[in-house]
Structure 1
């Protein structure tokens, strides 16, 4: 079965529509969220605080003043991600409840995507001392990304039967990494050749941020055209308008939360290990630049390697899941993640080969653990509450993790070093692994009233 061929039980048009939204938003996730914006915003904040950009030998120790609080410029981007996720904790469950009652899911998904893409495009104006504008745009874009993904993930249940979800989810992640790789490769050329193109490196970075927003917005048109809407099914009967019904559905789910203990245990496990994954992704470029002393071009080339390897890693994990089950495959990936953060703590500064080796290891497990987590969780969701449960799931999804970035930022502020901050993330993978091992998938699927797949 080829990557370009839809599984037999999945409509071809919807397969492409679903897969290409991963392609679309990965332009933002990779270029903005993973590589360029955190170190760029840090440099803008350092310039505002210290009048210069900090270096490994001469870091900026002057804090920004925000509402009377002293904020380290090196921690600003991570606190911004934390703020976005705290807001999302209140906002996304309502989005999910509305989506479950909506007869036009694809418009809801694409509307959030287009607002997020506009915010990403506006990052081209972040320069000089405009760190506050950059922080605001990052918060808006991350909230919109999470909101669009709440609806997007729930569509997986609509288009793929239980036995096909691991495959469809893994392939969509693979398409995402391919799209992110292509855009990042283009941006690498722009940033690397900025002198030849007659622009400063800062201008090249800002144009790359603009390109990510355009990529996200324009390619979202394809899912809008190819996905089809379905009427709401099995929703909780609540009176009132759509907003009141949505809050009523959310409260009903929280009231009966004990009915689905395996679903909730999986969700808690995912919250921990995905916070670790997301934090490693979001801090990797800052860690490489500020702690290990690499130039932006080296960081982009490393992320390109990660993206390229992740394309094959996502497909490989899908095949492992067909043989060993998604739960055991995810657990194996978490063991590798723990080894990665330990290796990251010991990486020597300004030595490219070990840094590239760590990037290779990240690429192998990155897409697979996330893709299989999405498809495994979809098996545990009771009918009629798909988007609502995925809104809780998105609290720990890419670009919206909060506990990991908070811990990373606090450890850096307390120690003045990113090394203890990176190794502290190993605790998230360990806790997630222990909790996931206690999830009885068969029991959870039965409790949710879903059809049992052949292998879990």
Structure 2
């Protein structure tokens, strides 16, 4: 508070940067702890557990925030406790990988080229695997659409549909809960149809969900909940299967390097969707037009992913090709 907002801004940047590094390392463990035929299921369960646990702490935070007077707290104090609980949550669960996961050491001479030099070396190496880069491009496009829907759905609900804060909070919880179901369900579908086909199917579902969202009536919370349910069902599975499919395209021994590029695609280009959303609103004055404009990311992502021969890409990366992919 007061003049300490600059400190808050710096801490926000540090926290987001640290989270990106943590997610990169977390993702890079997948090829080391799960054989190729189990990665879709393991990745799906990981996302499902994450959304389930996130829903629990979110519910606890919402109870504290909405009933802060009952706990003898001011609104500001309740917000501070909620924020601190997120940090404690991360810190507590970080003890599990620290104690249970083994670190595969890299010889010092190989680790000497760190930072930007290492990133440049990784990019040069990735040029030897153009099909892996082709998947990353497709992921960059459709994931940007996913991230924008997540961040702008509440804006659409409040500004265009005229929904209250309590409705939006319930919708967020609904997305969290159904993302668990969606991650597990799409993981099971991947066993039958393969990860690539299941992801392509999820992109069709994303497109249909946004199209339905365009026609939602204003002031109707029930239909907004239906939209939230649709988002939740495809959200977790899209993320989980994208991670597991990319893990098949990473050359052995380069997991952390390649997943850093994967995380860069996830975080580093996530401004394109909000830019399109904002520009469309500025030009048309309609949030409905802004939300439907995001369909472009899913259509283009579908086309780019459909053109990637994943079996050949897995073989070119030096990995065994699973029976169903």
Q: TM-score, normalised by structure 2?
A: 0.90
Match of residue 170 from structure 2: 301
Greater CA deviation, 210-219 or 365-374? 210-219
Match of residue 48 from structure 1: none
Match of residue 207 from structure 2: 338
Distance 2:238 2:249 in 1: 17
1:74-103, Cα deviation, whole Å (9 max, x unpaired): xxxxxxxxxxxxxxxxxxxxxxxxxxxxxx
Distance 1:245 1:134 in 2: 29
Task: Give the count of matched residue pairs.
Answer: 325
Residue in structure 2 matching 1:138, options 12, 15, 18: 12
Match of residue 151 from structure 2: 282
- In the alignment, is residue 380 of structure 1 matched against residue 249 of structure 2? yes
- In the alignment, is residue 244 of structure 1 matched against residue 118 of structure 2? no
Match of residue 232 from structure 1: 106
Greater CA deviation, 390-399 or 420-429? 390-399
Distance 1:299 1:265, change over 3 A: same
1:123-180, Cα deviation, whole Å (9 max, x unpaired): xxxx578765554443332222111111111111111111111111111001001111
Distance 1:250 1:399, change over 3 A: closer
Distance 1:333 1:364 in 2: 9
Distance 1:175 1:343, change over 3 A: same
**Secondary structure of residue in 1 paired with 2:113:** helix
- In the alignment, is residue 403 of structure 1 matched against residue 277 of structure 2? no
Match of residue 232 from structure 2: 363
Q: TM-score, normalised by structure 1?
A: 0.66
Q: Which has the higher contact order (CA 8 A, sep 6+)?
A: 2
Asked if 2 retains the 8 angstrom alpha-carbon contact of 1:192 and 1:297, the reply is: no
Distance 1:132 1:298 in 2: 32
Distance 1:130 1:302, change over 3 A: farther
- In the alignment, is residue 328 of structure 1 matched against residue 202 of structure 2? no
Distance 1:173 1:444 in 2: 25
Cα RMSD (Å) of the superposition?
A: 2.5
Asked if 1 retains the 8 angstrom alpha-carbon contact of 2:126 and 2:132, the reply is: no
Match of residue 160 from structure 1: 34
1:189-209, Cα deviation, whole Å (9 max, x unpaired): 123323433445555344322
Residue in structure 1 matching 2:258, options 385, 389, 396: 389
Q: How does 1:100-249 map to 2 (within 5 A)?
A: 134-201=8-75, 203-232=77-106, 242-244=111-113, 247-249=116-118
Distance 1:397 1:353 in 2: 31
Following superposition, the deviation at residue 407 of structure 1 comes to 2.4
Asked if 2 retains the 8 angstrom alpha-carbon contact of 1:259 and 1:447, the reply is: no
Match of residue 324 from structure 2: 455
Q: How does 1:34-49 map to 2 (within 5 A)?
A: none
Distance 1:427 1:216 in 2: 35
- In the alignment, is residue 428 of structure 1 matched against residue 297 of structure 2? yes
Distance 1:426 1:307, change over 3 A: same
1:286-310, Cα deviation, whole Å (9 max, x unpaired): 3333433333332221111111111
Distance 1:257 1:228 in 2: 26
Following superposition, the deviation at residue 257 of structure 1 comes to 3.6
**Secondary structure of residue in 2 paired with 1:397:** helix
**Structure 1: any 5+ residue segments left out of the alignment?**
1-126
Distance 2:225 2:189 in 1: 25
Distance 1:418 1:217, change over 3 A: farther
Distance 1:414 1:185 in 2: 38
Distance 1:133 1:370 in 2: 33
Distance 1:256 1:246 in 2: 15
